[in-house]
Amino acid sequence: MSLAEDTDQAAQLIAYGLRPKVRPIENPDYRELVRRYRQQDSFARTVRAVASGMGLDVLDVTEAAGVVLGAREGSAFAMRMEDYYRRTRERNPRLRVLHGLAQLAIAATSFPRPDDLEDEEHAPRIAVNEVDEYLRDLCRRLDERHAEQELDPPAEDPGLERSWRMYARQPEAAATEDRRAWSGATRQVIARAFVALTEQGLMRKVSDALGGTYQPTPAYRIHVRELAREDVWFELDRITSENGLSRW
Amino acid sequence: MGRSGANGEVSMQLALEPELAPYVPPDADTAFGDEALARRAKAMACTVPLHHLEANKGRVRDGEFSAYTVWGLAFVAIDTVTVQMDFDRGAAHGVVIEAMLPYAGRQAPERDHAEHREVCKWVLDELIGTSSQREFTVEYGDWNGEYVRRSFGFQLLVERQAADGSVYLRATDAAINVLVGALDTDVESAQAAAEAKLENLVRRGRLSEAQYAALQARYRTIQLGEQIRQDVAATRRNLATVDWAGEVSPRLDGALAHIGERLEVERRIAENIRETRDRAQESERRAQAASLIELLEECQNRHMILQRKLMEARQTFLIEQQRQVFAPPASVRLRDITRELLLPVLSLPLLDADAPAVGFFERVLSPRPQRIMRLSTLIAQLLAPPRERAELGAELLEPELRELTPYEAFPEPVREAAEAVLAQVESQPRRLSTLLDAALDHSPATAHLVALLALHSFSPALESQLRAGDDAPLLLAWSDGTPLPPQLRLSGGAPGDLAVASAGQAGPSFCGDDLLLARLDLAPHLSEVRT
């Protein structure tokens, strides 16, 4: 096969990866490209090179998940929170932290132990209400752990409020005057996080039980495994130790 | 306060104006480093929403609510929610309002029921904080070390969602603390103190205060039960986040020992009170003692429930340990998402948590390709006929279509006749029985339909119709308790409802109330209001 043909096929595989709802099991061409990636090192190198040129990392290629891509910072494919939720553009970090915590908690609930991230068959059913309860429980634990400390932020500096205290005070559910659910309620935020994941082919809705019950797809496990790598969050470790917080 | 007041006033003035008091040099460590200053300020902050209610009642509804002592209503609301909180539920809004209504009624018997309901709803909404983003914020001074003004955010009643999607209320620890008055105390020692107080009171025969102390003890037990429920739920989710050996297990031990003690103490108190009751002369005191015994029995029930939960907690731990701990380890070093990502982010101040929280969000949801438009293809696409989606595989089978005739329970002539009968009803109320008689002249089916339409007009959704801008005259049906005449009531039915018995060969038979029907035409009045 010529270089041009190889590159064309490599780009095709990446194009499939950019359409996360298409799965190899339903598409013979895609399946064939996945097989080739896994068997032929030179093709795999070409695919990674093309991806790299587009600002993408190939996180993994499997029969079940297809090609799972991660966007590098600043790439044309990187998503911005403020494009997704316009209101997070404001100066106050409260809403941004809330949406970020929802995603983190969904990942934590889906994969309670690091080993679960390596287990291809691990696909638990998790629900909106469970994720919220999980977060609230962690907040309560943090409250207990810091019982001796002064945690109220200075009146002129609300940004020094600890994240968990902000979360704990956000209502889990609230009915507005016209009986619609209030968008600031934590279960609304988590429900929207699940919807975003579903749109990206990372979750599958199972039922409406418990505020919406979902099951992670194989691609979600690969994404979260990548994000759980030790080296990804050194910056977080640094801020944590700067704030004088001990590790758990 | 005037300077030329009586002696008492002068001494108060001295205390209020430090420059007039004898100078005492402050000791930085003991005078300012007192944590209790901040703690008491925060405890008092929890009562601020109640003061706020009382202060603002004159400003809502043109001062109509001034007739009520609204903080009394607020206490009833918090009590109701707290008592309804068992191990996992709280109280629905409706339940709380029903509990408050009799109190509002006593406070202003001359006002009507609708207003009682409104004031209760207003108080409940304010306790939830619907007008303040469901959160109260009070500033206080922190004297620990340097003086810092801090803002203390808290809630009293929070809305939570049940498995069936309904929203119910729970009281926060802050609210329970305000309620029982023990604002900054350790759960178990406060309970021990309450016990001692109760026994003391009973010995001296001061029963109403004894009752108060027993209530206090009960709230404490509810709090303890809630803590243990949360421990169990956390264990089920992830054992790694729960410190069993260091934290939970001692708490369970403490709670078990404590329940054993409580059961014994309460049994003893109940014995004492029974004796007091038997010896007491005044009937009022006897009644008081009896209700205290009832309360103690309820406390004992709660202890039993707590005891059962405690037993289950240990069982849960053993099962979860089997499931979660004894599993093969991961091959590469991956973080534990809860302990090494989520908890650190939760612990950080909002400003520092911003970047990692947004980072995780954006990375887990990437890549998100942008659609790129190309004019030539766009025009072609707009002009093209709808694309057949061949990639979906198998060819579609031609569906077998059958002609459907709509099913009609009542044929056209019957519908027209029934409409004609109901058209007789105008603003003057008419009896259903006369309408049915008229309809029976046409056919039994007509009478059947008239009866159904009358039922349909029973309590129509008038408000939603008007809000939707539909001001057509509306048929209203209501009951004054008169039963249908016996010639229509051929077969028996439950009194109070209207039922159409199965249409036999002899035609339908009706039983239930002889409803009154009238037509309500608001249109002329509405146009007056709108112009």
pLDDT given at position A43? 92
**A224 interface with B at CB cutoff 8 Å:** yes
Rounded to an integer, the average pLDDT of A29-45 is: 92
Same domain flag for B160 and B206: no
- The reply to whether A53 and A97 lie within a common domain is no
Does any CB of chain B come closer than 8 Å to the CB of residue A103? yes
Beta strands B148-154; B474-478: pairing state: unpaired
For chain A, the domain total comes to: 2
Q: How many Cβ pairs closer than 8 A exist between chain A and B? A: 272
Shortest distance between the Cα of B231 and any Cα of chain A, in A, equals 8
- Do residue B127 and residue B164 come from a single domain? yes
Percent of chain A with pLDDT over 90: 49
Is A78 inside any structural domain?
no
Residues B49 and B176 in one domain: yes
At residue B102, the pLDDT reads 92
Domain boundary among B295, B322, B349: B322
Measured at the CA of B511, the angle between CA B507 and CA B514, to 5 degrees, comes to 115
Give the pLDDT confidence score for residue B199 in this predicted structure: 55
Residue numbers of the domain that contains B441: 414-525
> CB A210 to CB B163 under 8 A?
yes
Last residue of a domain, one of B155, B180, B205: B180
pLDDT along chain B (531 residues), means of 10: 38 34 41 60 83 86 86 86 70 89 91 91 88 82 78 87 78 73 46 54 55 68 77 76 78 77 73 67 66 78 78 78 55 81 92 92 86 77 68 64 72 87 86 87 86 81 70 81 76 44 55 84 73 54
Q: Which of B247, B348, B358 is the closest to A163 by Cβ?
A: B348
Q: Does residue B426 fall inside a structural domain?
A: yes
User: Residue A83: which residues within 8 A CB-CB, separation 6 or more?
Assistant: none
User: Does B460 map to a domain?
Assistant: yes
Same domain (yes/no): B142, B57:
yes
Q: Which of A43, A71, A99 is the last residue of a domain?
A: A71
| DSSP bridge partners of B50 | none
Residues B65 and B163 in one domain: yes
Which of A79, A99, A125, A238 best probes binding to B when mutated, by most B CB atoms within 10 angstroms?
A79
CB contact under 8 A, A169 and B153: yes
Is residue B368 within 8 A of residue A79, CB to CB? The reply is: yes
Average pLDDT for A191-209: 92
Is residue A34 located within the same domain as residue A119?
no
Contacts of A117 in chain B (CB under 8 A): 330, 334
In chain A, count of helices (H) and strands (E)?
A: 10, 5
Which helix (H) or strand (E) segment is A56 a member of?
Answer: strand A56-62
- How far is the C-alpha of B370 from the C-alpha of B396, rounded, in Å? 33
Q: Which of B165, B341, B350 sits opposite A104 (nearest CB)?
A: B341
Q: Is residue B475 part of a domain?
A: yes
Our measurement of the distance from residue A234's CA atom to the centroid of its chain's CA atoms, rounded to an integer in Å, reads 18
Collect all residues of chain A within an 8 Å Cβ-Cβ radius of residue B392: none
pLDDT of residue A106: 96
Q: Is residue A77 part of a domain?
A: no
**Minimum Cα–Cα distance from B239: chain A residue:** A112
Interface membership of A231 toward B (CB under 8 Å)? no
Question: Which one of A36, A71, A106 terminates a domain?
Answer: A71
Alpha-carbon distance B237 to nearest alpha carbon in chain A (angstroms):
8
Cβ–Cβ of A141/B38 closer than 8 Å? no
Q: How far apart are CA B436 and CA B430, in angstroms?
A: 11
Residues of the domain holding A215 = 83-242
Give how far the C-alpha of residue A98 lies from the chain's centroid of Cα atoms, to the nearest Å.
13
Residue type, B430: R
Cβ contact A164:B346 at 8 Å: yes
In the prediction, which pLDDT does B123 show? 92
Q: Are residues B166 and B193 in the same domain?
A: no
Which of A71, A104, A127 represents a domain boundary (last residue)?
A71
- A76: in domain: no
Q: Is residue A9 part of a domain?
A: yes
What is the structure's pLDDT at B393?
61
**Which chain A residue shows the shortest CA-CA distance from B155?**
A169
* Mean per-residue pLDDT, A167-177: 78
pLDDT for the residue numbered B6: 39
Q: Do A228 and B334 touch (CB under 8 A)?
A: yes
Q: Is residue B6 part of a domain?
A: no
**Of B163, B180, B197, which residue sits at a domain end?**
B180
Provide φ and ψ at A62, rounded to 5°: -135, 160
Q: Is residue B124 part of a domain?
A: yes
Predicted local distance difference test score (pLDDT) of residue A138 = 93
Return the percentage of chain A with pLDDT > 70, whole number. Answer: 95
C-alpha A198/C-alpha A205 separation (Å) is 7
**In the prediction, which pLDDT does B194 show?**
55
pLDDT confidence tier of residue A123, bands split at 50, 70 and 90: confident
